[in-house]
Structures are given as C-alpha cells and as structure tokens.
Amino acid sequence: MENFDYWVSLYSWIFTILIASLSVNSIFFIKGFLNKLLYFFIFTRLYAFILTFFFESASIGYTQQELLPMFIYKRL
C-alpha cells in the first residue's frame, strides 16, 4: 500500500469532476442564473452524500470482514 495516498488523491479528483459534471447536467432545464447556481450546490451535495453513504457502508463492512466489502477493498 505504498501508493495509497496517490490513488486516494486521484480518485478524489475523478469523483469531484464527475459530481460537478452530473450537477451541471442536472440543472440544464432550470431557468434563471441564481436558481441554477443554487441547484448546482444542492445537487453537488446530494450526489456527494449518496457516494459517501455507499463508500462508508463498504468501509464499515470491510472492517467487519464481510465478503463483498472485502472483495471491493482487496489489494491486487
């Protein structure tokens, strides 16, 4: 796990870009600049919360030695 920090940084940048892109695509049909700006922040936080929920549950499952989270976190 010597390159662990590198991979965490890389995946955090990738997920940040993907969440921002998804948020921009979600506000496509909303009219008004202020409404778009507010909904961008709302959707960004919503998508980040959803991803955090799933990754946190996988992390907890890994520490409890459950099968699927162990498979997700298994070092190749």
Please give the chain's pLDDT, 76 residues, in tens.
Answer: 456 667 777 877 888 898 889 888 888 888 899 999 999 999 988 888 887 777 776 666 667 776 666 666 665 4
Q: Which helix (H) or strand (E) segment is 76 a member of?
A: none
Could you tell me which residues come within 8 angstroms of residue 73 by beta carbon, excluding any fewer than 6 positions away?
58, 59, 62
3-class SS shares of the chain: helix, strand, coil, % to 5: 80, 0, 20
